[in-house]
Amino acid sequence: MAGLRLGPLLRYTDGSRATVWVETSGPCTVEVRCSDGAGGTAATFQVAGHHYALVTVTGLQAGTAPSYEVFLDDTPVWPLPDSRFPPSVIRTPGTGDAVRVTFGSCRWAAPPADGKDPVGPDALDTLAVRLAADPDAERPDVLLLLGDQIYADETSEETRRWLTGRRNLDEPPGGQVADYEEYCHLYYESWLDPEVRWLLSTVPSFMIFDDHDIVDDWNTSASWLADMRATGWWQERLLSGLMSYWVHQHLGNLSPAELDDDPTWAAVRATPDGTKALRALAEQADADSSTVRFSYRRDFGRVRVVMVDSRAARVLEEGRRSMLDPGEADWLREQVLGDEGAYDHLLIGTSLPWLLPHLVHDTEGWDAALCAGERGARWARFGEWLRRGADLEHWAAFPRSFADLAALIADVAAAPGAPASVCVLSGDVHHGYVAEATWRSGDLGVPVVQLTCSPVHNSVPAAMRVGFRVGWSAPARVLGRLLARHGRTPRPPVRWRKRGGPWFGNQLMTLTLSGRSARLRLERTGKEARLDTVHETSLTG
């Protein structure tokens, strides 16, 4: 008899449907039964010896929150026996409801309950404890996880002990993961955490990868990629990472209609073992990223969320470097401008911040100019060394892409029926801050803010904390302008100023969007396992 290995995860929801993801120990039929009579069934599919299902639940009513159970071949498996958590629910939006979007990134798996946590309480664990203690408390309508859901290159001691039983860690890639089975172990370690498991079963979640989901500084540059491809372990690592991402994260980002039109989803389910079909997709993404899209769009009432792949969709060739390949850039433009007046708030999710501390931005732009040969071959070699050593690979390191995103946001603000706010949601940099952009060409009339929230459960060295603080200062801006002058870099089309932060520690941000208003709250864990509000403000005046 099949058992429940991982999940359930509540993923896509709208007013009448939802999807629920699970992993099981063997082939079976998975059924979700809701307390109001709604439900759905799905047969499992197989990838690399693992069995999964994505169940589409139908018959839901808008503005309700029925509890649900999961059955495998008519045997109840969720809720778990003797669960200390309230029943999992599928909460559907009602017409005109405010939308609460909670987001963050960068989560090391929390240690076992009896283990010491070197980086303090996990913000997701802490959120789960608060919601479980009071089921009627204000809760997110959606959880956006903006990258580094797992750390393939920074594994725990427990995982390294497990890896030792499989292979020799003295050979590359050492204590990092190497194949699909090892990626699956990371998801078990992260998502079997009791608090997080319950949280993800009852709050809809959407996700996008960042570098550590594959490897630190993934796709920094063309020469970086060439060096990785010359190793004996990179190809399997990348393909396994993309395959496991598709199964564990990407599938749940898609609506039922998008799933119906997805050829890989059809191919994986059409055979007893979908490994070959899924591996073909990963190989295609590696060979030509423009042919595979991991970006997606979701609408929550009058709130539009566009999640942008700012890792796999890059063009790395010097002279053509771009954060998004041309097809991806066209897709993004269509999502935000294709139906004027369709939304009141635009949230652009990108794992990497668009607006950085000024000195960091200018350093990345200067370095990009050096790498492109602006100061000759010797400076270009130095630039590549610095780019890799200092992780200079955010939007600022792709100056044309930075300017293109600024121009696109300006077009959004100038379009008929412009939104009340544009928020760029990011993580990656292991601290939080709020930055507001203004255009040199004139006032857009729409507030545009960079909201950076990271980490959910990680840390940042003390020296980097000092650097992030100093990076916003007036002397740092002077130094940045000198670097820009040396690199002959063009002046960016926007100015920006810090409106809050930097904040350090494990944290989550929540946007509450109602009508044309937008409010932001940042909560951070302290020594006690609770979330405390450290910043709250209106973004729309």
Q: How many helices (H) and strands (E) would you count in the chain?
A: 16, 21
pLDDT values of the chain reduced to their tens digit, one per residue, 541 residues: 899 999 999 999 999 999 999 999 999 999 999 999 999 999 999 999 999 999 999 999 999 999 999 999 999 999 999 999 999 999 998 877 899 999 999 999 988 877 788 899 999 999 999 999 998 889 999 999 999 999 999 999 999 999 999 999 999 999 999 999 999 999 999 999 999 999 999 999 999 999 999 999 999 999 999 999 999 999 999 999 999 999 999 999 999 999 999 999 999 999 999 999 999 999 999 999 889 999 999 999 999 999 999 999 999 999 999 999 999 999 999 999 999 899 999 999 999 999 999 999 999 999 999 999 999 999 999 999 999 999 999 999 999 999 999 999 999 999 999 999 999 999 999 999 999 999 998 889 999 999 999 999 999 888 889 889 999 999 999 999 999 999 999 999 999 999 999 999 999 999 999 999 999 999 999 877 799 999 999 999 7
Backbone φ and ψ for 212, nearest 5 degrees, come out as -70, -15
190 plus 72 within the same structural domain? no
The C-alpha atoms of residue 258 and residue 254 are separated, in whole angstroms, by 6
**Distance of alpha carbon 90 from its chain centroid, rounded?**
22
The C-alpha atoms of residue 529 and residue 120 are separated, in whole angstroms, by 8
CATH code of residue 240: 3.60.21.70
Q: What is the pLDDT of residues 443-499, one digit of tens each?
A: 899 999 999 999 999 998 888 898 899 999 999 999 999 999 999 999 999 999 999
Q: What is the pLDDT of residues 349-402, one digit of tens each?
A: 999 999 999 999 999 999 999 999 999 999 999 999 999 999 999 999 999 999
34 plus 183 within the same structural domain? no
The C-alpha atoms of residue 205 and residue 268 are separated, in whole angstroms, by 23
189 plus 86 within the same structural domain? no
Give the 3-state secondary structure of residue 78: strand
How distant, in Å, are the alpha carbons of 205, 388, 476, 487 from that of 482?
Answer: 43, 22, 10, 9
pTM: 0.97
pLDDT at 297: 98
368 plus 497 within the same structural domain? yes
pLDDT at 467: 87
85 plus 130 within the same structural domain? no
87 plus 150 within the same structural domain? no
Please calculate the CA angle 537-209-363 and round it to the nearest 5 degrees. 70
pLDDT at 407: 97
The kind and range of the H/E element at 186 are helix 180-191
Pairing of the two strands 99-104 and 142-145: parallel
66 plus 151 within the same structural domain? no
Smallest CA-to-CA distance from 78 within 246, 194, 248 is with 194
Q: Which residue has the tokens 């989560």?
A: 107
83 plus 135 within the same structural domain? no
Give the total number of structural domains in the chain: 2
What is the domain range of residue 159?
A: 96-538
174 plus 312 within the same structural domain? yes
pLDDT at 328: 97
pLDDT at 115: 74
Give the 3-state secondary structure of residue 102: strand
Token pair of 329 as six digits: 């850039």
Q: Which residue has the tokens 């010491």?
A: 116
Q: Which of 36, 60, 91 is the last residue of a domain?
A: 91
431: left (phi over 0), alpha (psi -120 to 50) or beta: beta
Burial environment of residue 412 by CB neighbours within 10 A (0 to 12, 13 to 18, 19 or more): buried
How distant, in Å, are the alpha carbons of 376, 385, 400 from that of 78?
Answer: 63, 51, 49
pLDDT at 216: 95
Token pair of 424 as six digits: 């760029």
Q: Which of 56, 91, 126 is the last residue of a domain?
A: 91
257 plus 286 within the same structural domain? yes
The length of the chain, given as a count of residues: 541
User: What is the DSSP secondary structure assignment for residue 511, as one 8-state letter?
Assistant: E
Q: Are 347 and 518 in contact (CB under 8 A)?
A: no
The C-alpha atoms of residue 352 and residue 313 are separated, in whole angstroms, by 13
Q: Which residue has the tokens 């073992």?
A: 273
CATH code of residue 20: 2.60.40
List, as one string, the DSSP characters of 388-445: HHTT--SGGGSHHHHHHHHHHHHHHHHSTT--SEEEEEE--SSSEEEEEEEETT---S
Q: Which of 76, 91, 106 is the last residue of a domain?
A: 91
13 plus 142 within the same structural domain? no
Give the 3-state secondary structure of residue 383: helix
506 plus 401 within the same structural domain? yes
pLDDT at 135: 80
The C-alpha atoms of residue 185 and residue 220 are separated, in whole angstroms, by 26
419: left (phi over 0), alpha (psi -120 to 50) or beta: beta
